[in-house]
Structure 1
Amino acid sequence: MFAGRFPGSETTGDGTWTFDAADLPAGLAAVGYHTVCVGGVGFFNMRTPLGSVLPGLFAESHWEPSFGVTEPDSLGHQIDRVGEVVGGLPTERRLFLLLNVASLHQPNWFYLDGGTREDGDSPASHAAALRYVDRKLARLFDLMRRPCFVIVCSDHGTAYGEDGHTGHRIGHEVVWTVPYGEFVLS
Structure 2
Amino acid sequence: MGEVVGSHDLLLVTLDTLRHDVAVELAAAGRIPHLARHLPGGGWEERHAPGSFTYASHQAMFAGFLPTPASPGPHPRLFAARFAGSETTADGTFVFDTPDLVSGLAAEGYRTVCIGGVGFFNRQGPLGSVLPGMFQESHWEPGFGVASPTSFEEQVARAEKIVAALPREQRLFLFVNVSALHQPNWFHLPGATREAGDSRATHAAALEYVDRHIGRLFAAASSRRRCFAIVCSDHGTAYGDDGYTGHRLGHPAVWTVPYAHFFLDPPTTPEPGAAR
1:104 aligned counterpart, secondary structure: coil
Q: Map of 1:1-186 to 2, 5 A cutoff?
A: 1-9=78-86, 11-144=88-221, 145-147=223-225, 148-178=227-257, 181-185=260-264
Q: CA deviation at 1:176?
A: 2.9
AA matched with 1:146: R
Report the CA distance shift for 1:37/1:153 in structure 2 as closer, same or farther (over 3 A): farther
Report the CA distance shift for 1:30/1:180 in structure 2 as closer, same or farther (over 3 A): same
Aligned residues between the structures: 186
Q: CA deviation at 1:118?
A: 1.1
2:99 aligned counterpart, secondary structure: coil
2-structure distance, mates of 1:21, 1:185: 27
Structure 2 contact 152–210 (Cα < 8 Å) conserved: yes
2:169 aligned counterpart, secondary structure: coil
2-structure distance, mates of 1:65, 1:178: 27
2:180 aligned counterpart, secondary structure: helix
CA RMSD of superposed structures (Å): 1.9
Deviation larger for 127-136 or 9-18: 9-18
Cα displacement string for residues 33-59 of structure 1 (whole angstroms, at most 9, x for unaligned residues): 110010100010111221111101000
AA matched with 2:154: H
Unmatched tracts of structure 1, length 5 or more: none
Structure 2 contact 117–177 (Cα < 8 Å) conserved: yes
Structure 1 contact 146–185 (Cα < 8 Å) conserved: no
AA matched with 1:158: T
Q: CA deviation at 1:170?
A: 2.3
Question: TM-score when scaled to structure 1?
Answer: 0.91
Question: TM-score when scaled to structure 2?
Answer: 0.63
Report % sequence identity: 66
1:125 aligned counterpart, secondary structure: helix
Structure possessing the higher relative contact order (Cα contacts under 8 Å, 6 or more residues apart): 2
